[in-house]
Structure 1
Amino acid sequence: MKNNSNINKDISLRINLGTRPIFGHGKAKLLDAIAANGSISAAARKIGMSYRRAWLLTDAMNQDFKSPLIESSLGGKGGGGAKLTDEGAKVLKLFRAMEVKAQKSLINEKKLFSTFINMPE
């Protein structure tokens, strides 16, 4: 059995509304990619997601929050694009802060938990 002490064990944070997940690592990653790339299609390519999936997730986020998180403009002669709204940037920043806090607060528990994991050699 391999020693588990050097294994990177991450805690995955997900925000649910009842039993329905509304925000987590995948949507945060998509928002980061939209902010960096300026379009839903470029963001999807960057993170290895289909355009359809990315579009469905952006639409879901815009419906699930009080204000839209992503603002998009249609393509055409001038080209389209997408960007985070102020609300989207705030939600993403808050979620990233929550992830950091969760990771830091569970350091000891993650180490203890790793002692129970059977890692192949």
Structure 2
Amino acid sequence: MKNNKMMGAVKLSLTADVGQFINDNRIRLLDAIDVHGSLSAAAKSLPMSYKAAWDALNAMNNISNQELVIRSTGGKNGGGTVLTPYAKKLISMYKAMEIEYQKNLEQLQQALIETPEVKEINDFRQLMTRIKFKSSARNQLVGIVTSITIGAVNVIVELKVSEQITIIAAIAKESAELLNIEFGQELIALIKSSQMILHRDDELTLSVSNQLKGTISHIHPGAVCSDITVALSDQKSLSVTITEQSRTQLDLQTEQPIRVCFNASAVTLCRYE
């Protein structure tokens, strides 16, 4: 007798070749934004914390080549958020792929039941789980290698993230060889939020390689540290963690111009196969 028990509903995740881009939770968030016209209202309806929704939206915008939302300030709820036509097409594509993915998975399960080599299949599944790449770094930007300078110990790599954003990374020579970095190659730059500093004074001269101008779009205060979201050009953003004392001393406010500064050594480069 055949076993007709099916797998549970699957959750599709699209990586778009640059790390996780779209998953079920993010699609639900975009759907809710489309319904409510506000990020805060969308987050409450899911339910999801406003900070988690904000981070998810910024993560998608950082990877996407096109705008996903149009934000406006002011209004009854502090401004609105509207999906772009590109975002709506993305939702439709995801839902269509999810249906097909579920059908294929059900067929695969039936094949597993009828195939005696269960151990080999489980070994393969375990291997695929081990080689999955995940990172705790919230700041992930995709860029094209535009310059490579090889030194005795380090290699300086210049990444063009967008027309107005360039990032400099300094990595060990052995690491560059391992990644097989080449001109024109697309890489992912990871930057820890705690390794960045903020400066209000544009006249101050600093020795750090990366100094990106932006505007504070959101402040998440905490008892010890605060999380500051800085909106850069071309719909990109960075999350910076500073002490609450530093935030108070700098008197940081939303809509305030700011510089995000970090050393080239604070950037970790990754590639995908």
Structures share a fold, TM > 0.5? yes
Q: For residues 77 and 98 of structure 1, do their structure 2 counterparts lie closer, same or farther at Cα, with a shift above 3 Å needed?
A: closer
Corresponding residue of 2:97: 98
Could you tell me how far 1:86 is from its partner in structure 2? Answer: 0.7
Give the aligned partner of residue 49 of structure 2.
Answer: 50
| Cα drift, residue 70 of structure 1 | 1.3
Q: State the number of aligned residues.
A: 112
Q: CA separation of 1:108/1:40 partners in 2, compared to 1, >3 Å: closer, same or farther?
A: same
Higher alpha-carbon Rg: 2
Cα distance change, pair 105–78 in 1 and its aligned pair in 2 (3 A): closer
TM-score between both structures, scaled by the size of structure 2? 0.37
Deviation digits for residues 72-118 of structure 1 (CA, Å, limit 9, x no counterpart) = 1112468511111011111111111110111122223346779xxxx
Residue identity in the other structure for 2:64: F
Letter in 1 for 2:86: E
Give the 3 Å change call, closer, same or farther, for CA 111–47 of structure 1 in structure 2. farther
1:20 aligns to what? 19
**How far apart, CA to CA, are the structure 1 residues paired with 2:14 and 2:77?**
37
Report if aligned partners of 2:69, 2:84 keep a CA contact under 8 Å in 1. Answer: yes
The percentage of counterpart residues that share the same residue type is 35
Kindly indicate whether the alpha-carbon contact (under 8 Å) linking 1:72 and 1:83 is maintained by their aligned counterparts in 2: yes
Give the stretch that moved more between structures: 69-78 or 54-63. Answer: 69-78
Tell me the distance in 2 between the aligned counterparts of 1:103 and 1:88. 23
Question: 1:117 is matched with which residue?
Answer: none
Higher share of residues assigned strand? 2
For the Cα contact (< 8 Å) 2:18–2:63, is it kept in 1?
Answer: no
Higher relative contact order (CA 8 A, sep 6+): 1
Q: Which amino acid aligns with 1:57?
A: A
Structure-2 change in CA distance of 1:9 and 1:83 (3 Å): same
Measured in 2, the distance between the counterparts of 1:59 and 1:67 equals 13
1:52 and 1:46 map into 2 onto residues whose CA distance is: 14
Tell me the TM-score normalised to structure 1 length.
0.77
Would the aligned equivalents of 1:9 and 1:110 in 2 still touch at CA under 8 Å? no
Deviations 1:42-77 (A, max 9, x none): 000000111111111111111211111111111246
Q: Which has the higher helix share?
A: 1
Structure 1: 5+ residue runs without aligned partners? 115-121
Q: Distance in 2 between matches of 1:105 and 1:4?
A: 15
Secondary structure of 2:70's aligned partner: strand
Secondary structure of 2:22 counterpart:
strand
C-alpha RMSD over aligned residues: 2.5
Q: Which stretch of structure 1 is more off in the superposition, 26-35 or 55-64?
A: 55-64
**Structure 2: unaligned runs, 5 residues or longer:** 114-273
